[in-house]
Chains A and B, each alone.
Chain A
Amino acid sequence: MAKRIEVSDLNIYYGNFLAVEGVNVAIEPRSITALIGPSGCGKSTFLRSLNRMHEVLPGARVEGKVVMDGQDLYAADTDPVDVRRSIGMVFQRPNPFPTMSIYDNVIAGNRLNSKRMKKAEADEVVEKSLRGANLWAEVKDRLDRPGSGLSGGQQQRLCIARAIAVEPDVLLMDEPCSALDPISTLAIEDLMAELKERFTIVIVTHNMQQAARVSEQTGFFNLNGVGQPGRLIEFNPTEKIFSNPDEKATEDYISGRFG
């Protein structure tokens, strides 16, 4: 079930370094929200703070609030493991488990969630997820082969299959297409358009056309200088951002004029 995420006054640190400052934003369910901005402005950092993956790094911490459908994700009694089970993530570099077969990769998350699964049930989840990720036809005859034997684009779709197999509420994608060819990229964009019927999707991308093509809302991150924290400069409907943004910085970035 898709859920709404509200972020208020979020500051994100690496040790003493304030990487992202003062983010306030509401991410709507059943839609795609794109995050754009120059390199190093904190898009990945912000994305990882939404499913509490940020704090996995030593010294990394967060101040502020992230609320998903009324549940405070950073409350003292919220288990980060539960948060990550309901907010899936796809990374920039495809990372299927090399020691597992394609089949086992897809249901790796389900095996965590409900320890015992009947074989028929598992088969069903695998097929449904691989179909959902547009990968079924390519791998159905070699489900028992290692996932690392696939091409980069196939591996990324395998990771998407793995993420959607657990039916998360939200799907976070950090530059999922940056290592892919245009055809795989289009396949994944089509996939996102289908997935947004069921999930809330947040995607980080450097590809402006991609943001314009797939997303409903777009957020622009920027930073004033080296060592300064990144900020969410503007958050608006994608159409508005790309035609008539409120901020000068957004317009400069989108049209390729910097500084």
Chain B
Amino acid sequence: MTATKAPTEPPGQRTVRRPGDRLFAASAKGSGIFILLVLAGVAAFLISRALPALVAPAEDIPGGAGLAGYIAPLVVGTLLAAVLALLVATPLAVAIALYVAYYAPRRVAAALGYVIDLLAAIPSVVYGFWGLTVLAPALLPFHEWAAEYLGWIPLFAGPASNTGRTMFTVGLVLAVMILPIISAISREVFIQAPALHREAALALGATRWEMIKMAVIPYGKSGVIAGAMLGLGRALGETMAVAIVLSGGAAATLNLISNSSPSTIASNIALRFPEATGLDVNTLIASGLVLFLITLAVNMLARWIVNRRADFSGAN
């Protein structure tokens, strides 16, 4: 959260406040406070329920390696899946958005827009089964190829999975899932790049692609980042699709293509919660608290990136 300071009134200068202004200011402030209260409530709930696990002796935690030992692999799995999804989805989404906004004939653009929005409406269980039954087998050859030729990169250390139910497959499924969000938001901001500046670029003798590089992408950058953050939020919190596809191991490994990839926090909670009792519940909630903190950190990082060059954002 960034707090913007309200402009302070110079002393001795009274401004007339109209009822409409006052009403709007009050309701905006109220909504802002409400959101903060909800967030604080969630955090308080998580902390209070996680507390027993935080103070319990290490051997009582499932797995017997203490709370950190339990959560660490899940954190690795969560970040790995989400980052992979984001790395695959963002460039693709930006390309799709640019195509729809500036290259496609109007009819094609509209049709493509519908298809992408439709992708967003498919329930995640369907993505999960698609990943399990279609994508995982289809990616098997790639797993073998990567283990053989890219094995020197830790991410592809192997041994290659024989089922395809790996972090790599999960990352791709998640990428497809977050693609619609990122591309829809990117498309909106790209379309709104001011005609004034697009024409300035064209009049300088820019080709369409150069015009896009000069006047559209810089203008839409913060929107793309915002879209990517929304997508990342969905990827971090996704439960069903990950739970179905991944045959999670328990090692905190970066290996994308073996059977031992760790599960993600959200899918681990979804899988274990129904049968959990006593301290197990507290442990799961503690992992939820960690996910909450990760999400918060990621969002603050994104804000910081966006604000770093606010002068040049085109918003002034």
Q: Which residues does A use to contact B, with CB under 8 Å?
A: 51, 53, 56, 81-82, 84-86, 88-89, 91, 93, 95-101, 108-109, 112-113, 145-146, 148-149, 159, 162-163, 166
Contacts and interface: CB of A to CB of B under 8 A. Distances in A.
11 contacts: A81-B206, A85-B204, A97-B201, A97-B214, A98-B315, A100-B214, A108-B204, A112-B206, A145-B311, A148-B316, A149-B311
Contacts of B214: 97, 100, 108
A85 B199 CA distance: 13
B315 to A, nearest CB: 8
Contacts of A91: 196, 199-200, 203
A4 to B, nearest CB: 20
Nearest to A51: B203
A149 B315 CA distance: 11
Contacts of B312: 98-101, 146
A97 B311 contact: no
Contacts of A82: 205
Top 5 A-B residue pairs of the complex, sorted by shortest distance between their CB atoms: A85-B205, A99-B218, A98-B314, A109-B204, A89-B203
B202 A98 contact: no
Contact of B202 (A56, A101, A163): A56
Given A95-B196, A112-B210, A166 B311 contact: no
Interface of B: 196-197, 199-207, 210, 214-215, 218-219, 221, 311-316
B205 A109 contact: yes
B204 A53 contact: no
A95 B214 CA distance: 13
A112 B204 contact: yes
B205 A81 contact: yes
Given A89-B203, A163-B203, A163-B204, 14 more contacts: A53-B203, A84-B202, A84-B203, A85-B204, A88-B204, A91-B199, A91-B200, A98-B219, A99-B218, A100-B218, A108-B214, A112-B204, A148-B316, A166-B204
A53 B203 CA distance: 7
B203 A88 contact: yes
A93 B199 CA distance: 11
A95 B196 CA distance: 6
Nearest to B217: A99
Contacts of A56: 199, 202
A84 B204 contact: yes
Contact of B197 (A84, A95, A113, A145): A95
B196 A93 contact: yes
Contacts of B215: 97
A113 B207 CA distance: 11
Nearest to B208: A81
Contacts of B203: 51, 53, 84, 88-89, 91, 163
Contacts of A166: 204-205
Contacts of B313: 98-99
Given A108-B214, A146-B311, A97 B205 contact: no
B206 A99 contact: no
A49 B311 CA distance: 35
A85 B202 CA distance: 9
B215 to A, nearest CB: 6
Nearest to A172: B203
A98 B204 contact: no
Nearest to A109: B204
A219 B314 CA distance: 37
A115 to B, nearest CB: 10
B244 to A, nearest CB: 43
B218 A84 contact: no
B304 to A, nearest CB: 18
Contacts of A99: 218-219, 221, 312-314
Contacts of B221: 99
B67 to A, nearest CB: 46
Contacts of A96: 200
Contacts of B201: 97, 108
Contact of B205 (A84, A101, A159): A84
Contacts of A100: 214, 218, 312
B157 to A, nearest CB: 40
Among A84, A97, A113, residue most surrounded by chain B Cβ atoms (within 10 Å): A97
A88 B200 CA distance: 10
Contacts of B210: 112
Among B201, B203, B215, B218, residue most surrounded by chain A Cβ atoms (within 10 Å): B203
B207 A81 contact: yes
A101 B311 CA distance: 10
A159 B204 CA distance: 10
A51 B215 CA distance: 20
Contact of A98 (B199, B205, B206, B316): B316
